[in-house]
Amino acid sequence: MSAGPFDLGPSASLPEGGRLCGRAGDVEVVVLRLEGKLYAVDGLCPHRGGLMGQGDRDGFRLSCPLHAWCFDVRDGTAFFPRGQRLGVHEVFERDGRVLVGPRVAP
Ligand code: FES
């Protein structure tokens, strides 16, 4: 697999508080713009593969729609259950496009 970065779409399609779902190589990702900054996390929950892009969000907290595991999108740490992690990816904008790079954590 190429290391990317992978183009998820135009910056204009990701307003403040919005999210973009797509693929970065062979992994599903979700990109969110919160307080003016971009965050990219794995699109599949580490529990049983729930679609994180369909989960509820409260601030930086993103919940899985299946069994409510929830994670801090800033660093992937879990609020519940403690000790779990969601993968975090490099993400940036260039020439009006949202680009996602490799997983940086965990
Ligand atoms: S699949 Fe996400 S909490 Fe179970």
State the distance from the centre of ligand 1 to the C-alpha of 52, rounded, in angstroms: 9
Q: What's CA 87's distance to the chain center, in Å?
A: 8
Q: Is 44 in the pocket of ligand 1 (CB under 6 A)?
A: no
What does the pLDDT look like over 31-53, one tens digit per residue? 999 999 999 999 999 999 999 99
What does the pLDDT look like over 48-76, one tens digit per residue? 999 999 999 999 999 999 999 999 999 99
Q: Is 66 in the pocket of ligand 1 (CB under 6 A)?
A: yes
State the distance from the centre of ligand 1 to the C-alpha of 63, rounded, in angstroms: 9
Distances (CA, A) of 31 to 43, 51, 82, 83: 9, 13, 23, 23
Can you name the CATH fold of 6-105? Rieske Iron-sulfur Protein (2.102.10)
Q: Where are the domains positioned within the chain?
A: 6-105
The pTM is what?
Answer: 0.95
